[in-house]
Amino acid sequence: MDFLPLFHKLQDRLVLVVGGGEVALRKARLLADAGARLRVVAPEVRDELRELVGQGAGEVLLRSYQPGDLSGVVLIIAATDDEPLNAQISVQAQSLGIPVNVVDAPKLCSVIFPAIVDRSPLIVAVTSGGDAPVLARLIRAKIETWIPATYGQLAALAKKFRAQVKGLLPDVQQRRVFWEDVFQGQIAESVFAGKLQEGERLLEEKVAGGAPLALGEVYLVGAGPGDPDLLTFRALRLMQQADVVLYDRLVAPAIIELCRRDAERIYVGKQRAEHAVPQEQINQHLVNLAKEGKRVLRLKGGDPFIFGRGGEEIEELAAHGIPFQVVPGITAASGCAAYAGIPLTHRDYAQSVRFVTGHLKNGSCNLPWAEFAAPSQTLVFYMGLVGLPLICQQLIAHGRSASTPAALIQQGTTRNQRVFTGTLANLSELVGQHEVHAPTLVIVGEVVQLRDKLAWFEGAQAQI
Ligand code: SAH
């Protein structure tokens, strides 16, 4: 180990920054964040840097560096483009035993700046010892995605109770188990979901009773349209901690694979006109599992609140007082549109977009067709494959031009994506000539013609 990571307390301590440019400013910002008082020395100093120093109790000295500038400082940053000067500062600092950092010159440094993930009071620092700073930054970016932004709040909450828990549980092992439970369970989830008071209340209860929390929780999570890359960070985190997963037919196997390995998986899929498990039964299932104390993941294709019956499921949970959270997902319309190169709105072609269910009831579709006839709007039909001939015919009958461009997207965002484009007059016939696999989405409107220019994603098949 070439460097020992230590965290430096700089609150109200004087730090010398030699240099007044962009690089000095960047370092000064970090130092100011850590509460340091800044002494900036340079013949010229950028305005932002001056302002920054002005905000704290620091000083700007508009002149060249002098050795006397080192007096009283606990850390020195040399950020000038004058190499001999940087070297001189380094030697002088080290002879006085003051930590020194010379920007972009690891050999002259006694301390180096890491790449930082700041979830104060939780801080992660990464360094490559100056050998590959870009690599350190990339690793930092990865860590950023693993640690929810609200982790800091969780740490702050723990701080409030730390002394009390220490008094209550003198044994280190017991305390470890206690805190692991807090940081991985329902209390942490409450904080991540922005329910700070709820988290604090649960922690209070846990401290008071030490009893495990009886109720489980349900996560109603949107899994997006198919490509696993389109999951949200929160979706992935909950997928990896749930005890049981209830999933639909629409959720791609590659996404189910990302759930915790040892989680119980329950298929409750629905096919058109053939509900594998009736909705009431799914609702009841969720309630029962949560009452057993399980963390239940209800994974849905796309977004749970768009034609997903998510509302009904959480109504049932709410009625039973079961905690839940809803994680939005990328809905099929957004996913398919993006991957097919069809912007849903466009200054020149569409000022609004409507998501419509094209599901047929008794062979017909009871929809406000006259409203759909207005130009400059995009219509997106979910569940519209069987009803496609009827949809096209009704739109034309109510005044939408027969030459309006229209597209059908099969299994959007996946490797099997295929896009059929035509017009209201011929799309249905065109689709009929091919073997089409569900799920499919229909987009109607002038925006469809932009696909020729904007398509970038190629599924398994050539575009039609
Ligand atoms: N909650 C989902 C929609 C559920 S309704 C969402 O927000 O996307 C089911 C319908 O969604 C399907 O019939 C189909 O019209 C559409 N759909 C879902 N995933 C799709 C995909 N990858 N490609 C095309 N259509 C899709």
Would the pLDDT of 275 be above 70? Answer: no
Q: For ligand 1, is residue 385 a contact (CB within 6 Å)?
A: no
Residue nearest to atom 16 of ligand 1 (CA): 382
Tell me the pLDDT tens digit for each residue of 216-241. 889 999 999 999 999 999 999 899 88
Token duo for residue 159: 């701080």
Question: Which of 30-34, 207-211, 313-317 shows the lowest per-residue confidence on average (mean pLDDT)?
Answer: 207-211
Question: Which of 49-53, 128-132, 280-284, 353-357 shows the lowest per-residue confidence on average (mean pLDDT)?
Answer: 128-132
- Give me ligand 1 centre to Cα 454, in Å: 22
Q: For ligand 1, is residue 396 a contact (CB within 6 Å)?
A: no
Burial class from Cβ neighbours inside 10 Å (0-12, 13-18, 19+) for residue 361 reads: exposed
Q: For ligand 1, is residue 391 a contact (CB within 6 Å)?
A: no
Residue nearest to atom 13 of ligand 1 (CA): 383
Per-residue confidence (pLDDT) for residue 211, from 0 to 100: 53
Per-residue confidence (pLDDT) for residue 277, from 0 to 100: 80
- Give me ligand 1 centre to Cα 427, in Å: 19
Alpha-carbon distance of 420 to 463, in angstroms, equals 7
Q: List the beta strands (DSSP E) in 112-215.
A: 115-119, 122-126
Alpha-carbon separation of residue 61 from 19, 39, 53, 319, 403 (angstroms): 10, 7, 11, 66, 72
Q: For ligand 1, is residue 224 a contact (CB within 6 Å)?
A: no
What atom of ligand 1 comes closest to residue 300's alpha carbon? 1
Alpha-carbon distance of 85 to 89, in angstroms, equals 6
Residue nearest to atom 11 of ligand 1 (CA): 382
The alpha-carbon radius of gyration of the chain (Å, integer) is 30
Residue nearest to atom 9 of ligand 1 (CA): 383
CB 353 within 8 A of CB 380: yes
- Give me ligand 1 centre to Cα 319, in Å: 28
Q: For ligand 1, is residue 440 a contact (CB within 6 Å)?
A: yes
Would the pLDDT of 464 be above 90? Answer: no
Nearest residue to 242 via CA among 189, 194, 193: 189
Give kind and range of the element (H or E) at residue 267: strand 264-267
- Give me ligand 1 centre to Cα 37, in Å: 56
Q: Which of 206, 248, 294, 300 is catalytic?
A: 248
Nearest residue to 93 via CA among 79, 107, 113, 109: 109
161 residue type, one letter: F
Give kind and range of the element (H or E) at residue 303: none
Residue nearest to atom 3 of ligand 1 (CA): 307
Q: For ligand 1, is residue 331 a contact (CB within 6 Å)?
A: yes
30 residue type, one letter: L
Q: What is the DSSP string of 324-361?
A: EEEE----HHHHHHHHHT--S-BTTTBSEEEEEE---B
Give the 3-state secondary structure of residue 41.
strand
Token duo for residue 190: 């409450």
Q: For ligand 1, is residue 307 a contact (CB within 6 Å)?
A: yes
CA angle 22, 62, 20 (to 5 degrees): 10
Alpha-carbon distance of 256 to 258, in angstroms, equals 5
Q: State the Cα torsion 54-59-64-70 to the nearest 10°.
A: -140
Q: For ligand 1, is residue 383 a contact (CB within 6 Å)?
A: yes
Tell me the pLDDT tens digit for each residue of 363-415. 888 899 999 999 999 999 999 999 999 999 999 999 999 999 999 999 999 99
Residue nearest to atom 18 of ligand 1 (CA): 332
Token duo for residue 442: 């229909």
pTM (whole model) above 0.85:
no
Any residues with CB less than 8 A from the CB of 103 and at least 6 apart, and which?
Answer: 19, 23, 27, 77, 78, 79
- Give me ligand 1 centre to Cα 25, in Å: 49
What atom of ligand 1 comes closest to residue 384's alpha carbon? 15
Alpha-carbon distance of 294 to 244, in angstroms, equals 7
Would the pLDDT of 71 be above 90? Answer: yes
Q: Determine whether 270 is an active site residue.
A: yes
Give the 3-state secondary structure of residue 297.
strand
Alpha-carbon distance of 255 to 233, in angstroms, equals 13
Per-residue confidence (pLDDT) for residue 366, from 0 to 100: 87
Per-residue confidence (pLDDT) for residue 276, from 0 to 100: 66
Any residues with CB less than 8 A from the CB of 94 and at least 6 apart, and which?
Answer: 100, 110
Tell me the pLDDT tens digit for each residue of 6-35. 999 999 999 999 999 999 999 999 999 999
Q: For ligand 1, is residue 439 a contact (CB within 6 Å)?
A: yes
Q: For ligand 1, is residue 301 a contact (CB within 6 Å)?
A: yes
- Give me ligand 1 centre to Cα 125, in Å: 42
Q: Determine whether 248 is an active site residue.
A: yes
Q: For ligand 1, is residue 310 a contact (CB within 6 Å)?
A: no
CB 383 within 8 A of CB 369: no
Q: For ligand 1, is residue 413 a contact (CB within 6 Å)?
A: yes
- Give the relative orientation of helices 22-33 and 47-55 as an angle to the nearest 10 degrees: 20
Do strands 274-275 and 270-271 pair parallel, antiparallel, or not at all (unpaired)? antiparallel
Grade residue 431 by pLDDT with cuts at 50, 70 and 90. very high
Q: Which of 118, 181, 195, 270 is catalytic?
A: 270
Burial class from Cβ neighbours inside 10 Å (0-12, 13-18, 19+) for residue 15 reads: buried
Average pLDDT over residues 337-341: 96
Per-residue confidence (pLDDT) for residue 17, from 0 to 100: 98
Q: In what order do the strands lie in the sheet with 405-410?
A: 352-357, 377-382, 440-444, 405-410, 418-423
Name the residue of 272, 413, 441, 442 to mutate for ligand 1: max ligand atoms within 8 A of Cβ: 441
Would the pLDDT of 463 be above 80? Answer: no
